[in-house]
């Protein structure tokens, strides 16, 4: 399937509305889903936060519209959603024959981002913000 096809463009344009509608419609089920997950074993037994600790609470705060609360629990879901949005805009512009690069593609940039996240995951075990 060509990325510039009319059918692909229509699907690409409708995708955010459909996604937001589904999230709004199933919002309560998404909140309840977070209660079904077991506690983090590394925090339960060792009392240290793993890189995934706080992701569920972070997403629940995002669904409530609380960006600050979401960032407080774990910034990774917010960063991931930002990357998805930028990638969506890039793909949408490409489907209309416009080349827009919003996501950096240099290795040093992503190395620095990875290093910042690694430092954050280590430091948050020493500084309790919860």
- pLDDT confidence of residue 47: 85
- pLDDT confidence of residue 30: 78
- Is residue 130 one of the residues assigned to a domain? no
- pLDDT confidence of residue 44: 87
Number of domains in the chain: 1
Domain, as residue range, for 84? 6-123
- Is residue 105 one of the residues assigned to a domain? yes
- Is residue 129 one of the residues assigned to a domain? no
- pLDDT confidence of residue 128: 66
The pTM for the full model equals 0.79
Stretches in the chain below the pLDDT threshold 70: 1-4, 128-130
Q: Treating both helix axes as pointing N-terminal to C-terminal, what angle do 76-95 and 6-25 enclose, rounded to 10 degrees?
A: 150
- Is residue 93 one of the residues assigned to a domain? yes
């Amino acid at each position: 399937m060509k990325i510039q096809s009319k059918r692909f463009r229509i699907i690409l344009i409708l995708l955010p509305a459909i996604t937001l509608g589904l999230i709004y419609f199933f919002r309560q089920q998404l909140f309840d889903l977070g209660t079904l997950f077991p506690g983090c074993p590394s925090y339960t037994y060792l009392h240290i936060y793993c890189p995934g600790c706080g992701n569920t609470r972070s997403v629940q705060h995002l669904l409530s519209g609380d960006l600050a609360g979401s960032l407080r629990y774990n910034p990774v879901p917010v960063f991931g959603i930002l990357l998805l949005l930028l990638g969506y805009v890039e793909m949408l512009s490409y489907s209309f024959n416009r080349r827009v690069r919003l996501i950096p593609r240099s290795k040093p940039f992503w190395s620095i981002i990875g290093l910042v996240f690694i430092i954050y995951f280590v430091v948050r075990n020493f500084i309790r913000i919860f």
